[in-house]
Each structure stands twice: as structure tokens, then as C-alpha cells.
Amino acid sequence: MAAQAMIKILQSADLVVWGDRIELEERSVLNDIVGAFHRFAATMEGDAALGALVRKLLIQRSYADVSAGGGKLHKGLHKGLHKGLHKGLHKGLHKGLFQGSPIEAAGTGFLWPEIEIPWKEIGLLCGFMERFGWHEDYLEPPPPVEDRMGEIADLHNKEADLKGAGEATRRQDILVEAGNDITAYMQPLGVSVAAQASATAAMFQTLILLGGFIGLHYKARFDAPRPSELDPNLRPFLPVPAHSSYPSNHALQSFLIAELFARTVPEHPGLPALYRAAWQVAENREWAGLHIRSDTNAGRALARRCMPVIERVMEDQMALVRAEWY
């Protein structure tokens, strides 16, 4: 019923694309879409199904090239559609475009501005490959397997402690951070819903994507087994990602954010808290049973080593963030 209702509603309207906007030719159709969403998308499965369906129909009707310009489609939906529909569409559209974590993060109460896929910054990073050599020797190989095995006892202790009532907040944080939510990095800067610091949010999200790009390169290079592969007695709190363990991408991304913001707004009083938040996000991946400490330390070291090339790649965004804070 949900699929038929959504198909009927969307096929009865004209979606007009104007640059980075999508408009509905008939305003009444928007109310019908929102109503159908509330009737049929009461569950997470319903959200995902409706998001996938609407994404397919919008692509067909707008003739948008999602592989190259999907960010514009996503941005247009943010502006044009009702907030009640936004959550369901966001799960389907954003996951399809950015291939994010399979974990649906718990809500934080913050709705940060979304970004397009940063093709410009990815292109610059690749263009600087030979000049900076960031793809070759920026990270030492992982410790020998026997040394990595020695680190797993700490994960067993964390696994036991995580089940306790005193770690309820950490459990919630781990779920939120699994989806690369930026709230943990924005709150130390004093950002609220009333002042979202959109340039800063965009820079942080870009760094998450660039960090994932760099981290996956080194993960493929070293192919280090996950802790639960070394010790099957571990019971990770989250599903184990398919890619390898070394370095920790969450550590790399977190410290890219802290290091670059410190270079962008060095007088900000929230910098100590931002570094603590970066460390906590990184360490929470150990609590979740997905990384050992050498993975975390490698991510942090790689972030610092990458700063010269990241500063070049992010020059324009850094200027926007400075203008936002000064």
C-alpha cells in the first residue's frame, strides 16, 4: 500500500528542477506526500522503503544525474520538502549518495546542514598525491600480530564494563558516532541549534569524507585483521565493518577535524574540549570492540601527518570558517 500511494502521489505532480532547487508544481501534492509518510512510515523499515522509492521516482522525474550531481538533488529536497518527510527521505537519499555506515545512528536533536559530495576537494587530494606523497609513507605498518593480540585484553575489559548501567551514555554515543554524526565535534565549540555554524559543519563533514578516502587506502594496503578476527571470543557492540582494522578511520577523521580547526581558528576557547571529544570518539571504537589502541594511535598519527596536504586541499573552506567565527 505504501508503494502504491507514493507512486500515485508523485506521478500526479510535476517536479521542476531549477539549478540546485526542486519545486513541486502543485502545492497540494506536498501535503499528500507528508500525509502518506505519516501513515506508512511509522517504522525504520518503512522509512528506508519510502526513501528508496521516492529517490527512484525523483531521479526519473527530474532527469538528475545523481552519480555526478546528487548533492544538488539532496539540497533541493532539504529546502522544498516538509520537515516531517525529511527524515525518511534523508535516510534513503543520503545513504544512496554517500554510501554511509549501515548503522542507523540514534538521534542527537541536531540537524546539521548537509553537503554535496566534495568532488573538488577529492580531486585536489588526488592531484597532490605525488607532490605530498600522502599515499605512500605517511603511516608505519601495524605492529606484529602477536603484539596486536596482546592489546585485546583491554577490549575484553571494556566489553564487560560497557554492559553496566554507568556506561549508558557511552552506549548511546557509540551508536550516534557510528554514522559519522558531527555533534560530538560541534558541541565543544558552543554551537547550538540557533547558530548552526554551517561553514564549520560543512568543513567537518568534508574532512570525514576525505579521512575515509585516505584511511581506506591504508586499510587496503596493510589489511590488518579486526580484533574479533584475532580473538573470536570478543563480542563487538556494533557490526564489524567489512574493511580492515588499521588505521582507525574514526580516529583519523576525528583528529583531522580537531587539527584543522585548530589551524583555522587557533584562538577558539573550545579547542581543548574539541581535542577531548576527538579522542573520545576514537576511543569509543575500542569500547565497541572494533579497534585496538594501536589502530587508534595510527589514525591520530596519520591525521597529523596529513595536515600539510589537507590544509592545501581545504584552503577555501578554511577561509569560510574563519569568516564565520571572526
* pLDDT tens per residue across span 67-111: 333 344 444 444 433 343 334 333 433 443 333 333 333 456 577
pLDDT of 18 reads 42
List, as one string, the DSSP characters of 248-302: -HHHHHHHHHHHHHHHHSTT-TTHHHHHHHHHHHHHHHHHTTS--HHHHHHHHHH
* pLDDT tens per residue across span 267-315: 999 999 999 999 999 999 999 999 999 999 999 999 999 999 999 999 9
Q: What is the mean pLDDT of residues 187-210?
A: 87
More confident residue, 48 or 312: 312
pLDDT of 110 reads 72
CB 276 within 8 A of CB 188: yes
The number of CA neighbours under 13 Å toward the Cβ of 37 is 24
Bridge partners (DSSP) of residue 192 are 195
Q: Which backbone phi and psi does 181 adopt, to 5 degrees?
A: -65, 140
CB 306 within 8 A of CB 258: no
What is the sign of the dihedral through the CA atoms of 270, 272, 273 and 277?
A: positive
Helix H or strand E segment including 149 = helix 145-150
pLDDT of 5 reads 58
pLDDT of 161 reads 98
Q: What CA–CA distances, in Å, run from 215 to 135, 230, 256? A: 10, 21, 11
- Choosing among 3.40.440.10, 3.40.50.720, 1.20.1050.10, 1.20.144.10, the CATH entry for 119-325 is 1.20.144.10
Is residue 140 classed as helix, strand or coil in its secondary structure?
coil
pLDDT of 191 reads 86
Q: What is the pTM of this model?
A: 0.69
pLDDT of 12 reads 59
pLDDT of 304 reads 98
Please give the share of the chain, as a percent, with pLDDT higher than 70.
65
More confident residue, 165 or 61: 165
pLDDT of 113 reads 77
**Helix, strand and coil in the chain, % to nearest 5:** 65, 5, 30
Q: Give me the residue spans of the domains in the chain.
A: 2-98, 119-325
List, as one string, the DSSP characters of 38-65: HHH--SHHHHHHHHHHHHHHHHHHHT--
* pLDDT tens per residue across span 107-158: 565 778 788 899 999 999 999 999 999 999 999 999 999 999 999 999 999 9
CA 30 from centroid of its chain's CA atoms: 29
pLDDT of 92 reads 38
pLDDT of residue 1 exceeding 80: no
CB neighbour burial string for 100-121, b if at least 16 within 10 angstroms, e if fewer: bbebebeebeeebebbbbbeeb
Between the two ends of the chain, the Cα-to-Cα distance in Å is 53
Helix H or strand E segment including 235 = none
